Structure 1
Amino acid sequence: MSAVLKSASWWLLPSLLLMQGCGESEKTYTVRFSPQVREQALACGTSYTDIGTSRGVIDLVDFRAYVRDVTLVRANGERHPLALDQDGTWQRDNLALLDFVDGTGECVAGNPGVRAEVVGTAPEHDDYTALEFKLGLPPERNHLNGPIEPAPLNAPQMWWSWQGGFKFVKLDVRSRTNELFYFHLGAAGCTGSVAEGYTCGADNQVTVLLNGFNPDTNQVVLDIAGLYSGVDVERVPDGVTDSMPGCMSGANDPECPLFFEHFGLTASTSGGPQTLPATFFRVR
């Protein structure tokens, strides 16, 4: 071997060792969310029948949610949080806003821009078998001043002024007897101010773990029929035991426990995470 080749070989060796020590290669992954009514896509401008205990009819009005800490899990249990793309609109830090309404039909509060995915990078592996994510904001970030926060926290539809903080999930539908039938998930029993801080009776933190999830081939189904399975969407509140149609995370709301069970929560202020049933969340 010539002196030149020997010199080149010695120069390349440290570079190759450095490349081997740089760790795993990164890949961009897209976690897709699919709102559905059973096997039918949920969309603005479409009526859905046979919903809930009264087998009622609903139309979508609004559906948005915050998700965070989206994590891919390998077969060996190794966990890799997605480093989210910082797109300035839908994703910031480890938080993403999902928006399923396009402003058509009854979805008058929506706009043409929809977002049904979370995009970020993680080490490239072909044995990811599960997905984990959390809903909403953690307590330490929940009570920010929404109007001055950057996207995606600047969405006024997700501010919860009377509770303080943000709605983690906002799902409004119209039934034949209720102009609006609400489901708003968020921290409840909150008192305080942005300046002085808040305390809440129930933080309502939800962690979702879905097994059998391959980010290259699977989607997260959000099944509205499952969520409403124990609820009467045509029931008119009596104004005594129930002041409004649906649930706004109140501990004394008779419909909240029927919703919360699908998130592994209780509606009690002393409640906490429980087993998550495969009714609202599932893998497709």
Structure 2
Amino acid sequence: MPAFSASAVMREGLGMPLIENRLKLPFLLVAMLLWSCGDVGPDNPSFTIPFVANVNGVALECGQVYEGLGASASSIDVRDVRFYIHDVQLLTEEGTAVELLLDNDNDFQLQYSRADGSTGAVALLDFTDTSSETCAIRGTSATRGFIVGTAPEGAYSGVRFKVGVPQEINHVDGAVSEAPLNAYGMQWTWASGYRHMKIDVKATTGDKVKEAYYFHPGSQGCESSSGDIAGPYACSMPLLSTIELDMNIDNQAVEFDLARFYASDDLNRGNGCMFVRNLSDFQDGEDVEPNGCSEMFGAIGLTLPETEGGAAGTTTQSAFRVVDFSGTPGEAPPYPDVSTLDVNNPSGWPHPDYERPTDLDVAAVSVSGGTSSHPPGDPRYGANCMQCHQSNGPGEGQYVAAGTIYNSAGEPWVEGGTIELGTAEQAIRFGPPIPLEEKLVGWELKLALPIDAHGQWYATAVPDINYQVENYYARVLDAEGELKMVMAIAPGGGCNHCHSTGFEVLMPSGEEPAW
């Protein structure tokens, strides 16, 4: 299949077919929901279990700074705290487990059909909104601090649940799935699956500031048994932790405490953990070994294998416990009034009530040396372009791919170059170092985009880019055409959702390319 150049996109004035019907559920999940309806016991009572996020027992809030966390007594300002749970069970005093079948009537809980045909449910818990500048960069407006479902009448003294997305629905097309599987920023790609948790903070230790310290765990060793991106998938290391707590469900809540979560971690080393890989930070220097994965996985009750291909184990978790709770569990208003949002600021976008003018739907593409993109200093510069340049946002043109690149010092990249998007039969991410040219096996170029004078690249509709069908990768070339980096592309093409505020895409300096 031929590659499309940026000039071809502009010449042909392509339309906007992006990802259509984003709220439409794929046929498979529709069938799952219809199957599940008959499994719900109509006479079972409803139970609500509150969840809270704290730091040393103090309520987690956007805009607040919490001190003394981790091995280096770092301070944190939270950016985003969300995680999925499933297989929720209530426990009797005799130790009998009874399933709590979560309701299927809101934006945070979804029933599905398990592999054995029984009905399961997944829930998303969200503890950060967009009320502070730090949270607005990563978080979402809506919050959720409880689960609700039905179970047989009984005296229950505990709760058990798994953290993460169940394997049956870990590899679906999140862009067109129902909530909460379409939650913004919770899926890497269709093939890579979901982030089971998304814990992002700004960490400060002395005079060193890490704008983004991450924990994004996901299932590993996943392969499609059909050879097609639609699966089904089997994962050798699902990385789903099981949490079991003694609990009085009438007056207690499940607490997730960031102080205990970070207790054995050093937030002054690296940028956290992605998948099962410690992220390095250029601020630390070559002699500082990044950490995070073993420590944070341990806090939720999992141990990672010491060798590639090994199996994960279990350990005693420390991040979750129960606390006394009074009052009625609630949720923040899902979205602010759309009329209060600033079209020149990405905060609060996208918004479901926004009526997008049709004259915004124009073809647009980055141009070598061009200056029409948002310049440095603009609040939109370096932000996730897909917040605004989509059907529920005020940006001119609906993008299929966009991002920002910086030089090795974190300053705007002004020397040009090219971003290539394409597919590969295999991506070699880990293991012994190999040349960059060999990391994407079976590479097929689909789209080449120039990097403009502001270090930005973007394009609206391109016939060969379809996130519902294929999984994409990117190759970064400098102005001389030298390959400098390879990376995966997020679903929807919004690279800046992750690569911003301390985790920017940096063009390597010198002759040696970056991994």
TM-score, normalisation: structure 1: 0.82
Aligned residue for 1:80?
98
- Matched to 2:149, the amino acid is G
Distance 1:202 1:123 in 2: 33
Structure-to-structure mapping, 1:1-284, within 5 angstroms:
26-93=44-111, 94-105=121-132, 106-108=134-136, 109-125=138-154, 127-161=155-189, 164-176=192-204, 177-190=209-222, 194-211=229-246, 213-235=247-269, 237=270, 245-250=271-276, 254-268=291-305, 269-277=309-317, 279-284=318-323
Distance 2:46 2:264 in 1: 39
Distance 1:252 1:189 in 2: 17
Distance 2:68 2:237 in 1: 32
Distance 2:79 2:143 in 1: 14
- Matched to 2:48, the amino acid is T
Change (3 A) 1:161 1:36: same
Distance 1:111 1:196 in 2: 29
Report SS of the residue matched to 1:133: strand
List per-residue Cα deviations over 1:175-211 (Å, max 9, x = no partner): 1221100011211344555334445442102111112
Deviation at 1:81, TM superposition (A): 1.2
- Matched to 2:314, the amino acid is Q
Deviation at 1:112, TM superposition (A): 3.1
CA contact (8 A) 1:135 1:205 kept: yes
Q: Which has the higher contact order (CA 8 A, sep 6+)?
A: 1
Change (3 A) 1:200 1:83: closer
Change (3 A) 1:85 1:200: closer
Deviation at 1:99, TM superposition (A): 0.9
Report SS of the residue matched to 2:80: strand
Distance 1:66 1:155 in 2: 10
Change (3 A) 1:162 1:153: closer
Structure 1 stretch displaced more, 145-154 or 156-165: 156-165
CA contact (8 A) 1:75 1:129 kept: yes
Distance 2:46 2:234 in 1: 38
Report SS of the residue matched to 2:189: coil
Change (3 A) 1:24 1:217: farther
Distance 1:150 1:92 in 2: 8
Report SS of the residue matched to 2:45: strand
Change (3 A) 1:70 1:234: same
The structure with more strand, counted as a fraction of residues: 1
TM-score, normalisation: structure 2: 0.46
Aligned residue for 1:17?
none
CA contact (8 A) 1:90 1:151 kept: yes
Aligned residue for 2:505?
none
CA contact (8 A) 2:245 2:322 kept: yes
List per-residue Cα deviations over 1:51-86 (Å, max 9, x = no partner): 101101100000111111111111122322112121
- Matched to 1:134, the amino acid is K
List per-residue Cα deviations over 1:23-74 (Å, max 9, x = no partner): 9963211111111111101111100000101101100000111111111111
Change (3 A) 1:232 1:162: farther
Q: Give the number of equivalent residue pairs.
A: 251
Distance 2:233 2:219 in 1: 10
Deviation at 1:276, TM superposition (A): 2.4
Structure 1 stretch displaced more, 161-170 or 51-60: 161-170
Change (3 A) 1:273 1:210: farther
Aligned residue for 2:467?
none
List per-residue Cα deviations over 1:156-192 (Å, max 9, x = no partner): 3101129710011100000122110001121134455
- Matched to 1:118, the amino acid is I
Report SS of the residue matched to 1:220: strand
- Matched to 2:107, the amino acid is T
Change (3 A) 1:163 1:180: farther
Distance 2:220 2:255 in 1: 26
List per-residue Cα deviations over 1:136-174 (Å, max 9, x = no partner): 122232111111111110113101129710011100000
Deviation at 1:273, TM superposition (A): 3.7
Distance 1:62 1:120 in 2: 26
